[in-house]
Amino acid sequence: MTDREQYTPGPASGAQVRKDGEKWTLILVRELRHSPEKVWQALTDPAHLREWAPFEVDGSLGTVGTTVNLTWVGTPTPLETIVTRADAPKVLEYNDIRWELEAFGGGTRLTLWTNIDRRFISMGAAGWHICFDVLDHLLSGTPIGRIVAGEAMKFGWPRLNSEYAQQFGIEVPSWPPKVAQS
């Protein structure tokens, strides 16, 4: 049995939500056993991102002012993305995403800040939780391959979605989301 077949995410943890009117921000924190420099490379290098992130980019995210095409898995249209902050290996910002890296206990405390529609906040937390686990495996030298979109359903995403919804005090959203009829 491979590491991927044995993978099961741990319980929902390390997440919080900030609400500012209709704007919701998901904040996820994960402690990784790897140096900030190694984590930075995984956050900025397109080849690394293809191994763990829920999106792909056609260039490095490591330099302020760089414009790349960012394509979320499962969406056909790339988003033109400009890196607005790249203070290696501490802070990276683009679109509605901010990464903070802090040296911590011989590794890195990684914090993701992302603005997200409130209807999808627990779904986003569940998805990023799995992505962070995949990132940790990749950086440890035991890659299990990207687990995103529909494939995440086989790897504990529904349970995580429910656990995060409960932590955030929201109703468990259905998947796929229901679209209001006019």
pLDDT tens digit sequence for 86-96: 999 999 999 99
The CATH code of the domain that includes 91 is 3.30.530.20
pLDDT digit string (tens) for 36-95? 999 999 999 999 999 999 999 999 999 999 999 999 999 999 999 999 999 999 999 999
Count of domains observed in the chain: 1
97: in domain: yes
What does the alpha-carbon distance between residue 158 and residue 113 come to, in Å, rounded to a whole number? 22
20: in domain: yes
User: Residue 24: which domain range?
Assistant: 13-167
7: in domain: no
pLDDT digit string (tens) for 96-111? 999 999 999 999 999 9
